[in-house]
Amino acid sequence: MTDQKPTKKDFVDLINSVMGREVMNEDQLSRFLEEAKKVKDTKGTEGLLEYVQRVTNAPTSKDQLRRMADHIQKTGSVGSALDFLKNEKLLSDSQAQQLQNAIQKTAKKKRKK
């Protein structure tokens, strides 16, 4: 069986599952990604980090976002990204567990298809 990349629908389902309600649809995600690419192309990484902070209201510093992105690139692991968020006190243990459960649930749905 070939590994399939997650679709936009998979990401939307994950986001909505984590939030406990519908906060995003595929069109909104597409617009977010298109705008993020434009910002990255015109303003570089710093501009992209500012954009992510502004749009998501993430309670993080640009430095934390940068370190998290570096960490994810180095490890390629969702689990280690969750550990990073917990270590930075951006997620509680229970929030990280909820997120992990939502990721696993989404992955199971994907495998059944």
Both tokens of residue 110? 């994907």
Mind listing the pLDDT tens digit for each residue in 9-68?
Answer: 888 887 777 777 888 899 999 999 999 999 999 999 889 888 888 887 777 788 888 888
Q: Is 24 left (phi over 0), alpha (psi -120 to 50) or beta?
A: beta
Both tokens of residue 24? 């995003």
Burial class (CB in 10 A: 0-12, 13-18, 19+), 51: middle
